[in-house]
Amino acid sequence: MLQAHEISLVYRNGEGATYAVNRVSVDVNDGEFLGIVGPSGSGKSSLLYLMSGLKHANEGRIVFDGRDYSVLGDGGLVALRRARFGFIFQQHFLINYLTVLENVLVGALERDKTALLRAKELLAELGMEAMLKRFPWQLSIGQRQRVAIARALINNPAVVFADEPTASLDQATGYQVVELLARYRGKGSIVFVTHDPEMLSEADRVIRMRDGKIVQVTGPKSQVTG
């Protein structure tokens, strides 16, 4: 479904070039939970940004559902991300003057009755059905992240990209977030970046990165080189 072939992200300066991602190839299989782990500066978040189209690769090619990112252009990538991808970050990026329900609907392609029902359904699945009219400042950090998850899932994305979504949470709440995302596996794919390998117990496959390269792959579907 999503294939990245020999992709690199290079930062150039007067003295040379620094590779944040160095000629990495990886496939994201339909419906799988793919974990990417590594220390700070290993290139794991940069790889996620490249695969999701948030950054442009300096080398290599990325194809989603038969469409090459290089021919989509910036406008095409924006449309692709909005329609087919969901995003969850370390910071929840909720809007403080909107209610929980309104924050989820911000991510909807069409704010119609179908989206409203979907938002309420997601929040109920995440244990937030009693908090629809609350504001972000009235929620715990874990509850805010649940709202961010609902917002990411509102359009039934083909791929959910999660960049360190548990980094600001205590371990117990972090596990809850992972379990909530793992429930979506099969409906869509999950690409989950973390520095904590314990958060990847639900993953089908785990990629370990260091210095912009893949150094290890574990799991039954190891279709990765780097």
Report pLDDT digits (tens) over 73-127: 899 999 999 999 999 998 889 999 999 999 999 999 998 999 999 999 999 988 8
Q: pLDDT at position 225, please?
A: 47
Facing residues of 5 across strands?
61
Which residue, chain included where needed, has tokens 């969901």?
86
DSSP-derived secondary structure letter, 138: G
Q: What percent of the chain has pLDDT over 70?
A: 97
The DSSP call for residue 109 is S
Query: If we measure between CA atoms, which residue out of 160, 218, 221, 217 comes closest to residue 191?
Result: 160
Residue 191, C-beta contacts closer than 8 angstroms, at least 6 positions apart: 28, 34, 36, 48, 51, 52, 159, 160, 161, 162
What confidence tens digit (pLDDT) does each residue in 95-104 have? 999 999 999 9
Q: Which positions of the chain have pLDDT values less than 70?
A: 220-226
pLDDT at 220: 56
- Tell me the three state secondary structure of residue 21: strand
pLDDT score, position 16: 83
Q: Mind listing the domains of the chain with CATH numbers?
A: 2-225 (3.40.50.300)
Q: Are 135 and 99 in contact (CB under 8 A)?
A: yes
